[in-house]
Amino acid sequence: MGANAQIKERANQQRSLETKNKILNAAEELFSLHGFYGTSLRDISALSGVRMSLCYYHFGSKEDVLQAVVDRRADAHQQALLEPLNAYKEQFGDQPIPVDALIEAYARPIMERHLSCGNGWRNYTRLMAHLYSESAHLEPKVQVHKYDPVIKQFFAEFRRSMPHANEPELHWAIYFLRSSVINMLLDTQLVDDQSAGLCDSGDLAQVITRLKSFFSKGLQEP
């Protein structure tokens, strides 16, 4: 391949990458606001400024676009979730990690990305909350299972730290914790409205402090 052909090929690849990112950015925002079923490929095409034909060319179906959106940030998000957990495992060694530390290790990386890392991460975390909160009877649900290995690692550490809890109790406890975080990621601002502004669901420090206080007491109740 000659030099001119190589330059042209690199330019084409760069344009293709830029087009894909426009589609994914638009899809991420729309899915995060309206969910999978409230968003169409036509909506994505309109917001991205990319023709429908190119959306089909690069990704195919709307399900394929969703999977690409989830995959794009998944590795970085999983790594961020596991970093504090692994740090605590190294710190405490064979000893159980304190429950309040486990709660923070789970919630803080998620809420940091949602509140402090820009619109892209906020859209992504809200999107994941939409996927988790949609009915189990709806498809697709495979996207959320990418995070099952992370949840299993947290579950194993909670089990070690809560020896008084039987298996169903432990599952209910983790379910309520995850559900609380999911609700906050959906930006419902329920507590803001309920408290007439006394509480701020957008204040990371306030969220983590209250979450730890509430759930650490509940999870350690005999």
> Tens digits of per-residue pLDDT, 122-131?
999 999 998 8
Residue 186 main-chain phi, psi, to 5 deg: -80, -5
At 31 the pLDDT is 94
At 60 the pLDDT is 87
At 138 the pLDDT is 61
What are the pLDDT digits (tens) for 10-41? Answer: 655 668 789 999 999 999 999 999 988 899 99
At 155 the pLDDT is 96
At 10 the pLDDT is 63
Interatomic CA distance for residues 85 and 104, integer angstroms: 9
pTM for this model (two decimals): 0.88
At 51 the three-state DSSP class reads coil
User: 10 Å Cβ neighbour count for 195?
Assistant: 11
| Domain containing residue 116 | 3-219
> Does 8 have pLDDT greater than 60?
no
Residue 36 main-chain phi, psi, to 5 deg: -65, -45
Distances (CA, A) of 107 to 104, 110, 111, 202: 5, 5, 6, 14
Q: Which of 99-108, 129-138, 145-154 bottoms out in mean pLDDT, i.e. has the lowest?
A: 129-138
Distances (CA, A) of 147 to 7, 75, 190, 198: 40, 10, 26, 34
Q: What's the CATH number where 102 sits?
A: 1.10.357.10
> Does 120 have pLDDT greater than 60?
yes
Identify which has the larger pLDDT, 138 or 32. 32
Q: How many domains does the chain have?
A: 1
The predicted model gives 169-176 an average pLDDT of 93
Report the mean per-residue pLDDT for the chain. Answer: 89
At 2 the pLDDT is 66
